Amino acid sequence: MTSPLKDRLIAKIKAEGPLTIAEYMTICLLDPVHGYYPTRDPLGSDGDFITAPEISQMFGEVIGLWCIQTWQDMGRPATVQLIELGPGRGIMMSDILRAAKLDKDFLEAVNVTLVEASPALEAVQGKTLGGTPCPINWAHSLEKAPTGPAIIIGNEFLDCLPIRQFIQKDRFAGRAGWQERMVALEDDALRFGISPAAISESLQAILPEAQEDAKNDELLEVCPASAQIIDQLKQRFETDRGRALFIDYGPAETEFGDTLQALKRHDKVGVFSDPGNTDLTARVDFGALIELAKAVDLSVTNAVPQREFLSKLGLEMRAIALSRAKPESKEKIARQLHRLTGTDEMGELFKAICFQSDNLDLPLGFRDMA
């Protein structure tokens, strides 16, 4: 199957040589003309994938309670920047703000900023959040969001940030044995290839600690964009109080292996099958995020399974209350609860992690700081 973006990618590689996986992901996901996110609303049962806030209103509601608690932990600042990264259709923010009505003072303090790369989704967010009681603004990056005390959240945001992949080709050479997996051409078709030489020392330095244990042909993924976010959080929390909560899928500790995947209509498809028309994500390496935070001395929790996090936020109670209010939906609510927390569903695979400014206690829902 051919697509305008596939043709453009092939022409680009012919002219300029192989692309890193990160370059390939960035073009596929964010190209303004043919990229995946800018040209569609990919979410929901009619779309390509479904996320926790799309499964149930309860998810955003308990995150709303977490936000109120965080604002109280921060000393109830008169203005708090509530910043969401990658807000999708704006459903989670709308559920957060509904739950926030429980504390009128919090709601009055809130100024919402949505960081969204897709004009198509920005329009959907505007519609979803049209009737909300607090000001809603958009920014192109976390750095451009307003300063001041902040609560930053991102659900299934980190998994769509571009990754690079490295393969250990000669473990006796140690760090000098790593080569980069690339997107190349074979008979004019997109294929994985490998950089001819070992990667530079500056790239070796961004590999997580697990690199030391790699056998030949083992693969490590690195997400430079999430490292940048950690640097930005560090800078921000030097001066502004706040917390940043991320929920995503991935292991609590670094694991080897290729996790780049493409989804179309809820099914896995080949990552080169239809560039620009399939969602591309990779597992989030929570172990590496913790290493990065520690390296810049940013306070961070250990990652906890979504099941445990949501349960500590009172998800089951919320399900019981909702079922009482809508007895006809009792079974549906039980199914939603299971999808969010079942160990065979999102409960174990998905994790929550929180970064914060110094002098704040352990955030609600977490077991310990890392």
- Site residue total, ligand SAH (CB under 6 A): 18
Per residue, the 3-state secondary structure of the chain, as one string, reads CCCHHHHHHHHHHHHHCCEEHHHHHHHHHHCCCCCCCCCCCCECCCCCECCHHHHCHHHHHHHHHHHHHHHHHCCCCCCEEEEEECCCCCHHHHHHHHHHHHCHHHHHHEEEEEECCCHHHHHHHHHHCCCCCCCEEEECCHHHCCCCCEEEEEECCHHHCCCEEEEECCHHHHHHHEEEEEEEEECCEEEEEECCCCCCHHHHCCCCHHHHHCCCCCEEEECHHHHHHHHHHHHHHHHCCEEEEEEEECCCCCCCCCCCEEEECCEEECCCCCCCCCEEECCCCHHHHHHHHHHCCCEEECCEEHHHHHHHCCHHHHHHHHHHHCHHHHHHHHHHHHHHHCCCCHHHHEEEEEEECCCCCCCCCCCCEC
Stretch that binds ligand SAH, among 47-55, 75-83, 184-192, 351-359 (CB under 6 A): 47-55
Report if residue 60 touches ligand SAH, rule: CB under 6 A. no
Report if residue 43 touches ligand SAH, rule: CB under 6 A. yes
Report if residue 157 touches ligand SAH, rule: CB under 6 A. yes
70-129: which residues touch ligand SAH (CB under 6 A)? 86-88, 92, 115-118, 121
What is the closest distance, in whole angstroms, from the C-beta atom of residue 110 to ligand SAH in the complex?
18
What is the closest distance, in whole angstroms, from the C-beta atom of residue 218 to ligand SAH in the complex?
28
What is the closest distance, in whole angstroms, from the C-beta atom of residue 86 to ligand SAH in the complex?
2
The residue from 160, 163, 289, 304 that contacts ligand SAH (CB under 6 A) is 160
What is the closest distance, in whole angstroms, from the C-beta atom of residue 140 to ligand SAH in the complex?
8
Site string for ligand SAH, 318-357 (x = CB under 6 A): ----------------------------------------
Nearer to ligand SAH (CB atom), residue 53 or residue 287:
53
What is the closest distance, in whole angstroms, from the C-beta atom of residue 295 to ligand SAH in the complex?
23
Report if residue 37 touches ligand SAH, rule: CB under 6 A. yes
Footprint on this chain of ligand SAH (rule: CB under 6 A): 37, 43, 51, 53-54, 86-88, 92, 115-118, 121, 155-157, 160
